[in-house]
């Protein structure tokens, strides 16, 4: 799902003129078909399978007779501690997305406004570079930085030898830090695409009319970059809610999230139906959140226009 958004924003060649006699609509369909067929096969079918699984009493691999049941959807009711875990996961997703949005917006602003040509290209590559290394490696390297007596402490003690430890491995902030590191590039790229299209003359006009930098930021840059921020927030929030690697490695005892609970159902407990039911419940919650916010956003952008 996240993959198709940048594709759509770069524009599908639906307006290609049909010079050789092929009708435009046929060309459009022919060009769209492969990606939609692939999405159907790779996203929709597995999702449907999991949806069916979520109503079964046991994982359909073995000798247990399969009976259809709704009991897994009552998990939040019969196991009330799950509600707390879900709430914590949503909060964590909120903090991670907010941090990404603030850091990502300003990084993108610097890239789009203060750099040109080669420097800009190099900086963009440097932002993408962490994406080329394995996520697990990145998370594990954070454990070396954050643990007591890790690099962070070494750095502090080289300045203040008597200071205590500031290592915060195995805490919620450590998880959020790992998640922000992992998903920040999405936010920078989407904000960058939105910011780079803003016409310089608009900003010049604002400046010549005496607008201060915060007015330009609040009245021009943020509203015009809002589509990028929203896309970035969606691309960050959804995977962060389901993340299990970062909480598990950086969270220690507090690293229990919906992601780890669901992963446990698939890998340890071999209870795929419960895992699937929990996933779909979370999906519903996330969609409800987006539905609420998209209404708010649309009203705001409507007022601006």
Closest approach of other proteins to the CB of residue 170, in Å? 6
Which range in 182-190, 230-238, 256-264, 286-294 contacts other proteins by CB under 8 A? 256-264
Which range in 176-184, 191-199, 205-213, 249-257 contacts other proteins by CB under 8 A? 249-257
Name the residue nearer to other proteins (CB basis): 27 or 285. Answer: 285
d(CA 179, CA 276): 23
Name the residue nearer to other proteins (CB basis): 53 or 105. Answer: 53
198-217 binders of other proteins (CB under 8 A): none
Name the residue nearer to other proteins (CB basis): 9 or 143. Answer: 143
37-96 binders of other proteins (CB under 8 A): 58, 61-62, 64, 79, 81-82, 84-85, 88
Query: Using the rule CB under 8 A, is 149 a contact of other proteins?
Result: yes
Q: Where do contacts with other proteins occur on this chain (CB under 8 A)?
A: 58, 61-62, 64, 79, 81-82, 84-85, 88, 143, 147-150, 170, 248-249, 251-256, 260-261, 264-265, 267-271, 274
């Amino acid at each position: 799902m996240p993959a198709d958004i940048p594709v759509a924003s770069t524009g599908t060649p639906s307006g290609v003129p049909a010079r050789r006699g092929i009708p435009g609509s046929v060309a459009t369909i022919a060009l769209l078909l492969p990606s939609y067929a692939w999405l159907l096969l790779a996203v929709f079918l597995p999702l449907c399978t999991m949806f069916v699984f979520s109503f079964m009493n046991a994982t359909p691999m073995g000798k247990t007779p399969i009976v259809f049941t709704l009991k897994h959807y009552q998990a939040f009711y019969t196991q009330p501690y799950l509600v707390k875990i879900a709430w914590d996961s949503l909060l964590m997703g909120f903090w991670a997305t907010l941090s990404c949005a603030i850091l990502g917006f300003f990084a993108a602003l610097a890239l789009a406004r203060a750099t040109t040509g080669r420097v800009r290209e190099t900086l963009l590559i440097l932002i993408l570079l962490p994406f080329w290394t394995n996520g697990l490696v990145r998370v594990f390297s954070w454990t070396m930085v954050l643990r007591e007596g890790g690099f962070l402490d070494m750095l502090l003690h080289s300045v203040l030898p008597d200071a205590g430890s500031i290592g915060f491995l195995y805490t919620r902030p450590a998880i959020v830090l790992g998640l922000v590191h992992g998903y920040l590039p999405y936010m920078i790229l989407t904000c960058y695409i939105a910011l780079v299209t803003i016409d310089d003359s608009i900003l010049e006009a604002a400046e010549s009319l005496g607008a201060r930098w915060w007015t330009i930021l609040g009245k021009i840059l943020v509203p015009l970059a809002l589509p990028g921020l929203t896309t970035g927030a969606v691309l960050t929030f959804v995977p962060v809610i389901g993340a299990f690697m970062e909480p598990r490695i950086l969270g220690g005892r507090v690293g229990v999230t919906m992601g780890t609970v669901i992963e446990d159902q698939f890998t340890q407990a071999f209870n795929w139906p419960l895992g699937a039911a929990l996933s779909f419940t979370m999906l519903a919650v996330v969609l409800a959140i987006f539905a609420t916010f998209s209404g708010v956003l649309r009203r705001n952008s409507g007022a601006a226009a």
